[in-house]
Structure formats: C-alpha cells, structure tokens
Amino acid sequence: MEQYIIKGGKPLKGEVLISGYKNAALGIIAAAIMTDETVKIENIPNISDIEILLQIIEGLGAKVDRINKNTIKINASNIHTVKADSDSVRKIRGSYYLVGALLGRFKEAQIALPGGCNIGSRPIDRHIKGFDALGAKVNIEHGCICAKADKLIGTSIYFDESSVGATINVMLTACMAEGQTTIENAAKEPHVVDVANFLNSMGANIKGAGTDVIRIKGVKKLHGSDYSIIPDQIEAGTFMFAAAATNGDVLVKNVIPKHLEAFTAKLLEVGVQVIEYDDSVRVIGENRPGSTHVKTLTYPGFLTDMQPMMTTLLTISEGTSIVTESIFENRFKFADELLKMGASIKVVEGNTAIITGVERLTGANVSACDLRGGAALVMAGLMAEGYTIVENIEYIERGYEDFERKMQKLGAAMEKIDSEDIKAINKFKFKVS
Ligand SMILES: CC(=O)N[C@H]1[C@@H](OP(=O)(O)OP(=O)(O)OC[C@H]2O[C@@H](n3ccc(=O)[nH]c3=O)[C@H](O)[C@@H]2O)O[C@H](CO)[C@@H](O)[C@@H]1O
Ligand SMILES: C=C(OP(=O)(O)O)C(=O)O
C-alpha cells in the first residue's frame, strides 16, 4: 500500500498550476456520450475517478482516445448497451450522470447506484423525481437505477433543496426531451454552469445555468464539440489553505478567482493576505491565523468540500472557532485523526466542530477516510512539527492530480512511498533531516 510521508514545518513557496475540475469533468464525460459525433475535451484532470468513468463508458461501447495526460477524444457512435453494473460504477459518485445521459439519448438506462465519498447517506430521490417528471418510469432494482421512457416531455421541476447532482442529471435528460423544461431552485455551482456550457457547445439550448432557474429547450440531436474544462476550485482552495497554514507564499495559477471568493473571504478574515489577479491568486501567510466561524452552504457560500481544509487551518488559530457542516451529516471523520496530531477539536451533534487553536500540530500516523478529509490530513502534516504518515491515499488520488509532485515543487518535504519499503522511508528521513 502506498502512503504519503511528510516532514512538516516548511513554508510552501512558489507557483502551482491547477488542473481541470473533477466534478465538472464527470458531468462532461457523461454528456459526451449523448452524441454519435466525436467530442474533444481538454483540461481533463488525470485522476482515478476520471479514469474509472472513462473505463465505464468504454464498457458501454464508447471509444476513448487518450491523446495526452489531459486531453481526450470520445466517440460514442457505437454504444451497444445502456446497462452498467460493475464495482467501478458503484465506486464513484459521477457514474450517476450516465443515467441522465443515456436516458436522454436512448430513453433507457440501467446504472448501478453510485458511490463516492462516505460523508453521509447521499440519497438520489431528487434525481428520480426529476426523471419521473420528464416522463420516465424509474425503479431501484437489484442495486441499479432503472429508468425508461416512451417519450420524454419537458416540464417544470422544483427542487425543495438544491442538489448539484440532480440539477446536472435533469439537465442532461431534459436537453433531449420534447419542449421546454424549467428547473427551479437549481444548484448554482460552477460545475453546473460548465456542464451546461458544454451541452450548449454540442447544440443544446440551456439558459440560466448559474442562477436559481434553468430553462432548457429540448433538441432532437446533439453534435460533436471541442471543449476545455474549468479549473478545479477545490484543488485551488486546497493549495490556498495549505499556503496560508504553512506561512507560505504561493501563486495559485490557472484559476477563476470568482469561484474562490468564499475561500478568499475567509482567509482575509483570519488575517491571511490574498491578492487576486485575472487567472491566479497569491496567498501569503505570515502569522498564526485568527479564529472565525464558518458554515458550509451551497455556492456561492462556503463549499462543503473545502470544510476539512478550513477546519484544519483553524486548528492553529489564535482563539476558538466554530465550523458547522450543513450539507453532509458525516464529514468530520478526519477530525479524529487531527486529534492524534495535537489538535483540539470537539465535534458536537455530528455537524459542528468547536476548534480551540493550539500553537502547533505534531506529526503522527494518520489515515485518510475520504477525499477532502485526506487532503486536509496532508495539509496538517505540512503544518506539523516532525514526521506524518498519511495512509489510505487512494482516497486522495481520486481527486488530486500529481498531488505530491505539486507539493514538492512548492518545497514540501513529502513523498509517496510503499508502506513496506523501510529503505525508502529511511532514505526520505535522511534526505530531509
Ligand atoms: C461528483 C460531485 O459533483 N460531487 C459533489 C456533489 O455531490 P452530490 O451531487 O452528491 O451532492 P448534492 O448537491 O446532490 O447534495 C446536497 C445535499 O442534498 C442531499 N440530496 C441530494 C440529492 C438527492 O436526491 N437527495 C438528497 O437528499 C445530499 O444528501 C446532500 O445533503 O455536490 C456536493 C455538494 O456541493 C459536493 O460535496 C460533491 O463533491
Ligand atoms: C465529495 C466529493 O466527491 P464525490 O461526490 O465524488 O464523492 C468531493 O469531491 O469532495
């Protein structure tokens, strides 16, 4: 098993280039199988979740050309099945977009229930409500979402609570339904907009993505496209917070600063310098951060995916902070690991963390429980005095391209090492001592 070994205490310094957004890429790859023409997608992140989704669509009959590490071509003219029921489908969250895409194009889909991070119960009732409203009959059978329609007819769908996944899934199906669909209380996250822009570049007619109301006029056919995915706001946020937490000075490049505003606002509030440029942000941390209160919300509020990084930064703040997780009920598992590093965090009622800042964290052996919680443990390792080992890094590799190499380029003493390879561990310790 591979693990990260980190020697903390070095400020991150330099420049880091942010990859394409995992959560946008998942929706866009699914959308790409809605046409029989070739689609070229650039800025694809080279991460395991994306490779898994590409293998799943290959299993459906799509041809995927991996042109280089971050560019692919997809041709889905030979899709021979609308059924996917493998462990891979159950492993990632983004496989649920295949339901919306296949239902839109072929009026039928049978896709295993999705996986993704174990951060709460994560039901899909809003997706089903949307497909149902468009005229599909949807059942859960043998662990699969089975959706079938004679005809898909545009309609008005109101989500009583916003959902990124349900909004994108309904958008996928509705763009090939007859007539107009309106999604009210739609999710406004940047990846909803990116998937809508991609569908429009394929000939769909979607207006209002990024606002509460999305209007979709169905079209008969979608065509090929050449598209580049937006930068990953969570990867960018992770490097911003790691720079702040190590008293570093990092230029985070290839970003859309507007997508980072909630993170920037919180960093400024705790005394970190953030300078925005057109497509980069510079983060300079100089002292222990101040304390603050944060509540996770839907975009443009503070994103739940960045909550672990915020919580980790606040472990060394001056004062007491409260972080409230309002989207997922089980997203503080990493906090138990931070306790091993000397943090003082009390999680009450499962969704509120009371953090009393300590002067410093100390390195320890910790284990990633999910993607962002795992990235936060790496950040804690970089902040801590001494050595930290982070196990279960396959969770982190689901969502961060070249994580250790990007950190090394910023001066971090961090390596990916086989846990059995004592020689490599000793060599690392010798090198950084
Ligand atoms: C692949 C992907 O893009 N994952 C992101 C997506 O997940 P995901 O699409 O699963 O998240 P949603 O926005 O759908 O979930 C928001 C909330 O609504 C609930 N809910 C959702 C759908 C539903 O049918 N019923 C229901 O009750 C969820 O349990 C959660 O409490 O958005 C989350 C919220 O920004 C992010 O943390 C994830 O990184
Ligand atoms: C929760 C996340 O991913 P997923 O929805 O794919 O599990 C995430 O990206 O932080």
Structure tokens at 26: 């998942």
- Tell whether residue 327 is among the known ligand binding residues: yes
In this chain, the answer to whether the domains covering 2-18+231-432 and 22-228 adopt an identical fold is yes
Cβ–Cβ < 8 Å for 72, 55? no
How is the chain split into domains, by residue range?
A: 2-18+231-432, 22-228
Q: Whose CA is closest to atom 10 on ligand 2?
A: 305
SS3 357: coil
Which of ligand 2's atoms lies nearest the C-alpha of 92?
Answer: 6
Ligand 2 and 305: CB distance under 6 A: yes
In the prediction, which pLDDT does 263 show?
98
In the prediction, which pLDDT does 433 show?
84
Structure tokens at 75: 């041709």
Superfamily designation of domain 2-18+231-432: Enolpyruvate transferase domain (3.65.10.10)
Separation of CA 122 and ligand 1 centre (Å):
7
In the prediction, which pLDDT does 48 show?
97
Separation of CA 147 and ligand 1 centre (Å):
20
Separation of CA 230 and ligand 1 centre (Å):
20
Separation of CA 119 and ligand 2 centre (Å):
9
Burial of 129 (0-12, 13-18, 19+ CB in 10 A): middle
- Tell whether residue 305 is among the known ligand binding residues: yes
335-392 pLDDT, tens digit per residue, is 999 999 999 999 999 899 999 999 999 999 999 999 999 999 999 999 999 999 999 9
Q: Among 22, 91, 163, which residue has the most ligand 1 atoms within 8 Å of its CB, making it the best to mutate?
A: 163
* DSSP class per residue in 120-175: S----HHHHHHHHHTT-EEEEETTEEEEE-S--B--EEE-SS--HHHHHHHHHHHT
Q: Among 124, 189, 371, which residue has the most ligand 2 atoms within 8 Å of its CB, making it the best to mutate?
A: 371
pTM value is 0.98
Ligand 1 and 26: CB distance under 6 A: yes
Is 117 one of the catalytic residues? yes
ipTM: 0.99
91-125 pLDDT, tens digit per residue, is 999 999 999 999 999 999 999 999 999 999 999 99
- Residues forming a β-bridge with 148: 108, 137
Q: Whose CA is closest to atom 39 on ligand 1?
A: 305
| Fold of the CATH domain 22-228 | UDP-n-acetylglucosamine1-carboxyvinyl-transferase; Chain (3.65.10)
pLDDT mean by block of 10 residues, the chain; 433 residues: 96 98 98 98 98 98 98 98 97 98 98 96 96 98 97 97 97 98 98 98 98 98 98 98 98 98 98 98 97 98 98 98 97 98 96 97 98 98 98 97 98 95 91 89
- Of the candidates 215, 105, 84, 95, the residue with the CA atom closest to the CA atom of residue 149: 105
Tell me, what amino acid is at 30? Answer: A
